[in-house]
Amino acid sequence: MSEENQFDNVDKNSVRKTKKWTEIKGENSWTMFKVISELVEGFETLNSLAPCISIFGSARTKPDHKYYKLATEIAQRFVDEGFGIITGGGPGIMEAGNKGAYIQGGLSVGLNIDLPFEQNNNPYIDPSKNLNYRYFFVRKVMFVKYAQAFVVLPGGFGTMDELFEVLTLIQTKKINKVPVILVGTEYWTGLKDWIQNVMLEQAGNIVEKDLDLLPITDDPNEVVSIITKFYDTSGQDHLLKPNYEL
């Protein structure tokens, strides 16, 4: 049967069952005003701040864990280089990042999200830079727009979501190409191997240069060096500026 007439014998008058919403709220369109208010508050607060580094990682990491201590040290080093620190504002790796900034007397920003579990403000955020969000997508706009680099420590689904969101935006040139560094070789090496062996070599779903977006290290000196060298390079693509204009 040709492509043109393959549906000719379909009874167009037959009655089909259509799924119905069990619940839909008539006021959903008004939600846009809540979204706009969160965007406005974020822009007005973060536009006035110094360039920052976003640090991602698990909310479940305890203060005695090596990755908590590593995140704290990395944040301290960034403050010494003149950067502020942005985290998700909660416990674990987020707290460690804010703690490092706080200890060093630097800018410490928290972008909190309302969750039924896990999330609560950590005590190391500058009180005037402690923002709260209902919506993940608005929060991610703030993470991405104002960060001059992304440092990703071990985490769960939320960390993966943030990591691959950033990689997608860089790959598709929706934001500037900025450093994205994975910290924790024993945690991240298997993921990068899978990306290379399966995503690239078996399926061809990325190109080889995309692997360059994901350096992995355990060394705070290397983390800081990658980012400082990136911005020491002359050229319009390596300026300290917000990542996109809306």
CATH number at residue 167: 3.40.50.450
**Is position 246 within any domain?**
no
pLDDT at 118: 55
**Is position 71 within any domain?**
yes
pLDDT at 3: 57
pLDDT at 105: 97
Domain tally, the chain: 1
In terms of Cα–Cα distance, which of 108, 92, 134, 113 is closest to 46?
A: 108
pLDDT at 112: 92
pLDDT at 205: 96
pLDDT at 2: 57
pLDDT at 24: 67
Segments of the chain with pLDDT less than 70: 1-15, 24-28, 117-119, 233-237, 245-246
In terms of Cα–Cα distance, which of 132, 90, 128 is closest to 107?
A: 128
**Is position 6 within any domain?**
no
End-to-end CA distance of the chain: 49
pLDDT at 154: 98
**Is position 4 within any domain?**
no
Question: Residue 164 belongs to what domain range?
Answer: 31-230
Residues 88 and 138: their CA atoms lie apart, in Å, by: 12
pLDDT at 1: 52
**Is position 238 within any domain?**
no
Q: State the pTM of this model.
A: 0.87
**Is position 51 within any domain?**
yes
**Is position 159 within any domain?**
yes
User: For residue 151, what is the enclosing H or E element?
Assistant: strand 147-152
**Is position 11 within any domain?**
no
